[in-house]
Amino acid sequence: MSLDGKIATRDRDDASFSSRADRRFLNEMRAKADALVVGAGTVRASDPPMRVSPRSILDGRAEPRRAVVSTLCLLAADLKVFGKGPRTTVFTTNVASPGARKALEAVAEVKVAKGDRVTAAEILEEFAGLKCVQVEGGGELIWTFLEEDLLDEIHITLCPVVVGGNTAPTPAGGEGFDFASMKRARLVSSRREGDEIFLSYSLR
């Protein structure tokens, strides 16, 4: 995120403001994860393949499973996350039209949540038995996990840019907590590389 706590510009475009070192760190984290989960807004904004690159850093491990969360299921079937790589799971809701869900069934495993939102508990239930599920954003999906208190760790790279804007997304969107219920974290590690600071926090 930027110095002022934004994860994208006000246009929500896909230009990354982090360094090569940060992207390498993200890949290393992915290589250790068993599943990667991302929100539909992020997939639409930047079409990430959600794969480990280079594959050699997997060191013989299976590539992590991939999942996209979307209320409406309005996602193009030719997005990279549905292409080469482990078959992707789409978590969606009954609010999505049967047509939209069917269109994705050709390229993904589609799971329909009980309510009009996908809960973090439902996602983790699907991945039961896996040790590490990495939630890659954006802010709305991360809020889902925070709200249900199902996030163990937060990893933030503080990047030397100022983005500004009232509508630029932040790491945690949603309704937000009030003072009494806000989450408190413990700093586990911090490391400087160039002008960036890599921070790891525990929420437990």
Ligand X SMILES: NC(=O)c1ccc[n+]([C@@H]2O[C@H](COP(=O)([O-])OP(=O)(O)OC[C@H]3O[C@@H](n4cnc5c(N)ncnc54)[C@H](OP(=O)(O)O)[C@@H]3O)[C@@H](O)[C@H]2O)c1
Q: Contact between 154 and ligand X (CB under 6 A)?
A: no
For ligand X, the binding residue among 139, 154, 158, 172 (CB under 6 A) is: 139
Q: Contact between 64 and ligand X (CB under 6 A)?
A: no
Residue closer to ligand X (CB basis): 59 or 78: 78
8 Å CB contact between 159 and 17: yes
Mask: binding to ligand X, 2-21, rule CB under 6 A, as x and -?
-----xx---x-x-------
Characterize the bridge pairing of strands 153-158 and 196-202: antiparallel
For ligand X, the binding residue among 27, 34, 100, 117 (CB under 6 A) is: 117
For ligand X, the binding residue among 108, 137, 154, 158 (CB under 6 A) is: 137
Residue closer to ligand X (CB basis): 57 or 74: 74
Q: Contact between 197 and ligand X (CB under 6 A)?
A: no
Q: In what order do the strands lie in the sheet with 108-112?
A: 108-112, 88-92, 65-69, 35-39, 133-135
C-alpha distances out from residue 199 to 25, 27, 69, 156, 191, Å: 12, 16, 26, 5, 7
